[in-house]
Amino acid sequence: MFDSLKIAFATYSRIPTPPADWNEHSMKYAMCFFPLVGVVLALLSGLAWLVLTRLGLHAFFIASCLTALPIVLTGGIHLDGYFDTQDALHSYAPKERKLEILKDPHIGAFAAIYGLLYILSVLACWTETATMNTAAQALPCICWGFVLSRILSGLSVVRFPKARKDGMVRAMADAADRHVASILTAELIAAGVLLFVPTLLCGTPLLYPLVTLLMAGLCFWWYRRRILPIFGGTTGDLCGYFLCNCERAILAGNLLCLILSSAFTH
């Protein structure tokens, strides 16, 4: 199982990891440890927020660090999938051609355009969040989005149809033990329950965990019902596309709650 953990971190992050034995047995449960990468991101993002705000740094600098942190720690693997998917979606080509575009290592115009818009939108949301006096109320839910997005992405790998007969997603799905889906479902339930801990212990508004779950659910529904049929199934790039959209939606949803709460309070 320790090899499965190392494989998950070696594949989906740039966090230094001891060499793993990549065999059929260790691959079986690698996807179960994918959410732990999100836990590390959540903790480091929360810590970065606390340190940077305590130092009294400008909101834009704090936002820039929090926008860059997950990209640096993951090596941009999910953002790469977002870029490739945008190129494919906006090609308006047949399904087979879209799948070819996903595999093309070159960046296209739409990847550049929508990738830039993605980074700017995340940066803008973090900047505005950093200016809110009540931001700490929403911060646990925003950070926990890194965990929820990875659990749902892992479920899509083992549950959804595959667009190709090869590739990383196919390899992970084929190697996964039949209990992996059940384990990920249990992790999803646990992660959902843990969202409400700040409300129970600190009295933070119930709205933030509810909106977080709503945003994650809507993104997952859109991914399954609207995006996958276009490609005939999921791929590694599409998983990255979903993950990026999910995390941005959770950030934006919590920011909206902060703004509305501030408006009604005053």
Residue 100, in any domain of the structure = no
Structural domain contains residue 4:
no
Q: Is residue 97 part of a domain?
A: no
pLDDT of residue 256: 97
pLDDT range class, residue 266, cuts 50, 70, 90: low
Q: 168 lies in a domain?
A: yes
The pLDDT tens digits of the residues spanning 81-104 come to: 999 999 999 999 999 999 999 999
In a domain, 104, yes or no: no
In a domain? residue 106 = no
pLDDT tens per residue, range 1-11: 788 899 999 99
CA-closest candidate to residue 216, choices 241, 240, 256, 243: 243
Residue 17 lies in a domain: no
Q: What is the mean pLDDT of the chain?
A: 94
pLDDT for 240-251, tens place per residue?
Answer: 999 999 999 999
Q: In the structure, what pLDDT confidence band is assigned to residue 171 with cuts at 50, 70 and 90?
A: confident
Q: Is the pLDDT of residue 54 over 80?
A: yes
* β-bridge partners, 61: none
Domain count, the chain: 1
Q: State the residue range of the domain holding 145.
A: 31-78+113-257
State the pLDDT at residue 169. Answer: 80
Encoded tokens for 123? 């940066």
pLDDT, tens digit, 9 for 90 and up, residues 125-168: 999 999 999 999 999 999 999 999 999 999 999 999 999 888 77
13 domain-assigned: no
